[in-house]
A = this chain, B = another copy of it.
Amino acid sequence: MVTQRNTWQRERVRDALAGARGFVSAQSLHAALRDDNTGIGLATVYRALAGLAASGEADSLQSPEGEALYRACSMTGHHHHLICRSCGLTIEIEATAVEQWARETAARHGFRDAEHVVDIFGLCESCAAKQS
C-alpha cells in the first residue's frame, strides 16, 4: 500500500465528508472549508478526495451536471444509494437481489467482468413535506 501521510488538511476533508448528509462536490467541499478560515487549497481537496476514493473510504459518482460527487462510505463492500434530489440526504442500501439479477443479465448476454450502477433518486420525506 502506498504511503498516506496524516496532515490536518486530509483530516478536515475526511471530517467534512463524514459530516455531510449526502453527496457533496469537491467544489462545495472546498468552499465550505474555505469559509472556516482554513487556507486549504482547491487542489488539495481534489487530491485528498481522490485518495479517499482510492482507499475505499469514500464513494464517488458523477452528477448529471458534470461534477464529481463524493460521500463518506460507511458500509464495507459493494452497495448502492438512495439519494434525495433536493437535500442530498443519502441512504446506503443493500441490493442482494439486484446484484444477482445484474450478474445473470450480464451472463445471459455473454458479458464478462460485469459491474453495475444502481442508484435511486427521489424526494425524501421531509423534502416532500416542504414542497407540498
Residues of A within 8 A of B (CB): 62-64, 66, 68, 82, 84, 91, 93, 95, 97-98, 101-102, 105-106, 109-125, 128
Partner of A111, one of B62, B114, B120: B120
Are B105 and A124 touching (Cβ within 8 A)? no
Partner of A116, one of B121, B123, B128: B121
Bound complex: CA A123 to CA B115 (Å):
10
**Total identical chains:** 2
Partner of A121, one of B84, B114, B125: B114
Which chain B residues lie closer than 8 Å to A123 at the CB level?
A: 111-113
Are B117 and A105 touching (Cβ within 8 A)? no
Which chain B residues lie closer than 8 Å to A109 at the CB level?
A: 82, 91, 93, 124
